[in-house]
Amino acid sequence: MSVINQMNEKLANMIAAGEVVERPASIIKELVENSIDAFATNINILVIDNGLREIKVIDNGIGMSSVDAKKAFLRHATSKITTEYDLERIKTLGFRGEALAAILSVSKVTIKTRQENGNAYYASFVDSKVIDEGNTSLNIGTEITINSLFYNTPARLKYLKSEFSERAAIIDTFDRLALSNPNIRFSLTIDDKLVKETYGNNDYYSLISQIYGQGILKDMKYFEEEFAKIKVKGYLASPSLARSRRKDITIFVNGRYIKNYTLTQAIVDGYHSFLMNNKYPLAILIIEMDPVLLDVNVHPQKLEVKFSNESLLRFQIESIIKKTLTTFKHDIPQNLSMFDKKETTEKYIKESLDFTYNDELPFKVSNDIKEEKTLGELNINKIPEMEYVGTLASTYLLFQNENGMYMVDQHAAEERINYEYYYDVIGNPQIIVREMFIPRKLSLTTNDLSNLKKHIELFKEYGFMFDDELNLVTHPTFVLDKDLDLMIDEMLVMINEKGTIILSEILDQLAKDKSCKASIKASDKISRTEIDELIKKLRLAKNPYTCPHGRPTIILLTHYEIERMFKRVVS
Ligand code: ADP
Ligand code: MG
């Protein structure tokens, strides 16, 4: 008995829809990409109820004939490619001919369209069938309205993330589309409120300030280079604007926003020595190359591409970025990251919590000293009393006592102290609110600020209050003053990803951040009082001998060792 049936068109489209249009933001992406392919110079996006009630995209592109307006919704219907030859040389954003068919299968659609010298025509579809059509009035271009999204796929509806993350995804999508097309005017209206708008005047600087906010501009650098007929340009934000998420690295290839691990990594590596661990840059990379060298047909959402010369790209991009970053004159702490990035913070945390006193203590200077008697006599459970002698290279604090000379790595020590501070708070996150002396302006992008505004009540629950200009006016005492920006950035990332705040996770992240941040103090000169304070706090630490990454905070060179080095004793 034959059990295999060929699916009907509608079912096949619904399955394809799962890949192409998983959420409102992906519908907006597909519709706007069609408008861009239709040479529109003005694209307006209107969204109601995060796109679930309505998504409308209006463009002033070339429009369609009434025949094509219906044909466009058939599966595999496209005007963009006809032969296999074309598939290897894709210059348009679309080419698979499945987006409109997929969208139609999961929503109710109305299209209005008009070509130059043609009449305006409209058609409405329900359950993928035309229920109404005829003449209408419209300027040249196309207007597509999507209603009742996912009305017939309740499972999909259920899997949509929180309201907030759908809205955030819509805004991200808008940002990327706008950033990749500086010559097109875009606007985004959500629930009848104009949320974002770009001018389409081909000026990248004004575009960036419209997308990220005016404040970011002064901290961005432009670069432009060409190699092997590949043009690479972009904008790099100063490392001082480091972010907690990778997604502020935006890559475009031939006008298409893509996700590409290798190139993202090339950018992160380019920034490597300028950033703390776990921090990512804000960067825009724009690549233009012969489409033959690119396979865009590897992902239904066309978000991934394959480069035929990926290693060359990777190498070149990393070095261009390094070169560009050295032109940032101010506030670049060079070589911040003293540890190997590959070691994950989780591992550091685990190591430092698992740390037990054993013969691996850093007091062991070398193997042959292990049997040395004085070491055995040391009370190694606490940092001994010792006298400050001086500081070496503004980095190592030197002390002496009857055992010999101690060197304390001031940064490692500070990391340990900071780390334990926040780790302790995790167990006991009491929210006592402190009012700020002067309201504090935070270094956030316009998106961050609007998210902040939206969740102002949630922030209040944790003791963060803001004035009308979104300057910080109160904060919980457990967050140190210097960590406020970092903490708020982490909170926004979590709201974005999880829709809420889980304080213990935020504090854990902060503990991790802090354990890295101490290294910013590389070669900082610290005063005598600060030195005493540092040692006092280190004494109180649970695991004073290593930084959270497992490097020693203190090393002892015993008198015996020193004498042996000077060959006063032979053994
Ligand atoms: P693809 O973009 O891969 O060709 P779509 O399903 O997204 O597939 O669109 C099908 C076709 O409909 C396009 O090839 C194009 O001819 C036409 N089309 C869609 N949207 C527009 C628009 N806004 N303006 C003009 N033509 C459009
Ligand atoms: Mg398309």
- What is the torsion angle, in degrees rounded to the nearest 10, for the CA atoms of residue 320, residue 324, residue 326 and residue 330? -160
CB atoms < 10 A from the CB of 350, how many?
12
The best mutation among 42, 55, 60, 78 to test binding of ligand 1, ranked by most ligand atoms within 8 Å of the C-beta, falls on 78
**Measuring CA to CA, which residue among 111, 102, 106 is closest to residue 76?**
102
Distance 35 CA to ligand 2 centre (A): 8
| Residue 111 contacts residue 144 (beta carbons within 8 Å) | yes
Position in ligand 1 atom list of the atom nearest CA 93 = 2
Query: DSSP assignment, residue 407?
Result: E
| Residue 288 contacts residue 251 (beta carbons within 8 Å) | no
Atom 20, ligand 1: which residue's CA is nearest? 34
Position in ligand 1 atom list of the atom nearest CA 96 = 3
- Both structure tokens of 165: 């993350």
In this prediction, residue 552 carries a pLDDT of: 80
**Measuring CA to CA, which residue among 407, 394, 445, 446 is closest to residue 551?**
407
| Residue 113 contacts residue 69 (beta carbons within 8 Å) | yes
| Residue 354 contacts residue 257 (beta carbons within 8 Å) | no
- Both structure tokens of 430: 């009491």
**Whole-number Å distance between alpha carbons of 421 and 90:** 55
**Whole-number Å distance between alpha carbons of 370 and 380:** 14
Distance 79 CA to ligand 2 centre (A): 10
In this prediction, residue 558 carries a pLDDT of: 87
Position in ligand 1 atom list of the atom nearest CA 101 = 6
In this prediction, residue 380 carries a pLDDT of: 45
Angstrom distances, CA of residue 434 to CA of 439, 452, 466, 480: 12, 19, 12, 11
Give the number of whichever ligand sits closest to the CA of residue 72. Answer: 1
Atom 21, ligand 1: which residue's CA is nearest? 34
Q: Which residues of 106-142 are buried (b: 16+ CB within 10 A; e: fewer)?
A: bbbbbbbbbbeeeebbbbbbbebeeeebeeeebebbb
187-196 contacts, C-beta under 8 A, 24 or more apart: 187/43, 187/44, 187/45, 188/45, 188/47, 189/44, 189/45, 189/46, 189/47, 190/47, 190/48, 190/50, 191/47, 191/48, 191/49, 192/48, 195/171, 195/450, 196/171
Distance 79 CA to ligand 1 centre (A): 7
* Strand segments (E) across 9-128: 42-48, 54-59, 108-114, 121-126
Position in ligand 1 atom list of the atom nearest CA 73 = 6
**Measuring CA to CA, which residue among 438, 437, 479, 482 is closest to residue 459?**
479
Q: What angle do CA 295, 297, 298 make, to 5 degrees?
A: 95
Give the number of whichever ligand sits closest to the CA of residue 98. Answer: 1
H or E element: which one contains 288?
Answer: strand 283-288
The best mutation among 100, 110, 297 to test binding of ligand 1, ranked by most ligand atoms within 8 Å of the C-beta, falls on 100
In this prediction, residue 100 carries a pLDDT of: 95
Position in ligand 1 atom list of the atom nearest CA 102 = 6
CB atoms < 10 A from the CB of 522, how many?
16
| Phi, psi values for residue 395, rounded to 5° | -135, -45
Distance 321 CA to ligand 2 centre (A): 33
**Whole-number Å distance between alpha carbons of 554 and 515:** 16
Angstrom distances, CA of residue 498 to CA of 154, 451, 492, 495: 22, 13, 10, 5
Atom 12, ligand 1: which residue's CA is nearest? 72
Position in ligand 1 atom list of the atom nearest CA 141 = 24
**Measuring CA to CA, which residue among 236, 242, 268 is closest to residue 486?**
242
Q: Show the 3-state SS of 96-155.
A: CCCHHHHHHHCCEEEEEEECCCCCCEEEEEECCEEEEEEECCCCCEEEEEEECCCCCCHH
90-94 contacts, C-beta under 8 A, 24 or more apart: 90/291, 90/294, 90/296, 90/297, 91/254, 91/291, 92/37, 93/33, 93/34, 93/36, 93/37, 93/255, 93/256, 93/302, 94/30, 94/33, 94/34, 94/37, 94/302
In this prediction, residue 547 carries a pLDDT of: 75
Distance 64 CA to ligand 2 centre (A): 14
Distance 95 CA to ligand 1 centre (A): 9
Position in ligand 1 atom list of the atom nearest CA 61 = 24
Specify the 3-state DSSP secondary structure of 458. helix
Q: Which residues make Cβ contacts (< 8 Å) with residue 141, sequence separation at least 6?
A: 38, 40, 58, 59, 60, 61, 62, 63, 113, 114
Atom 7, ligand 1: which residue's CA is nearest? 99
Give the number of whichever ligand sits closest to the CA of residue 38. Answer: 1
Distance 206 CA to ligand 1 centre (A): 30
| Residue 561 contacts residue 365 (beta carbons within 8 Å) | yes
Q: What is the mean pLDDT of each run of 10 residues along the chain (571 residues)?
A: 82 78 93 97 96 96 96 90 85 90 94 95 94 95 96 83 84 94 95 92 87 79 91 88 78 92 90 73 92 87 88 91 75 31 35 33 33 35 84 90 90 82 70 82 84 90 90 86 83 84 79 61 74 88 75 85 83 61
**Whole-number Å distance between alpha carbons of 107 and 102:** 9
Distance 188 CA to ligand 2 centre (A): 19
In this prediction, residue 2 carries a pLDDT of: 83
Distance 44 CA to ligand 2 centre (A): 17
Which residues approach ligand 1 with their CB closer than 6 A? 30, 34-35, 38, 59, 61-64, 72, 77-80, 94-101, 142
Give the number of whichever ligand sits closest to the CA of residue 33. Answer: 2
**Whole-number Å distance between alpha carbons of 312 and 334:** 26
> For tokens 């192409």, what's the residue?
20
In this prediction, residue 426 carries a pLDDT of: 66
**Whole-number Å distance between alpha carbons of 305 and 299:** 8
Position in ligand 1 atom list of the atom nearest CA 99 = 6
Give the number of whichever ligand sits closest to the CA of residue 68. Answer: 1
The best mutation among 34, 104, 128, 143 to test binding of ligand 1, ranked by most ligand atoms within 8 Å of the C-beta, falls on 34
The best mutation among 13, 37, 90 to test binding of ligand 1, ranked by most ligand atoms within 8 Å of the C-beta, falls on 37
**Whole-number Å distance between alpha carbons of 213 and 207:** 9
What's the length of the chain? 571
Residues near ion ligand 2 (CB < 5 Å) are 34, 94, 99
In this prediction, residue 165 carries a pLDDT of: 84
Helices (H) and strands (E) in the chain, counts: 19, 22
Distance 151 CA to ligand 1 centre (A): 23
**Whole-number Å distance between alpha carbons of 13 and 8:** 9
Is the pTM higher than 0.85? The answer reads no
**Whole-number Å distance between alpha carbons of 370 and 351:** 23
**Whole-number Å distance between alpha carbons of 97 and 123:** 19
Distance 27 CA to ligand 1 centre (A): 13
Give the number of whichever ligand sits closest to the CA of residue 16. Answer: 1
Give the number of whichever ligand sits closest to the CA of residue 297. Answer: 1
H or E element: which one contains 415?
Answer: helix 410-427
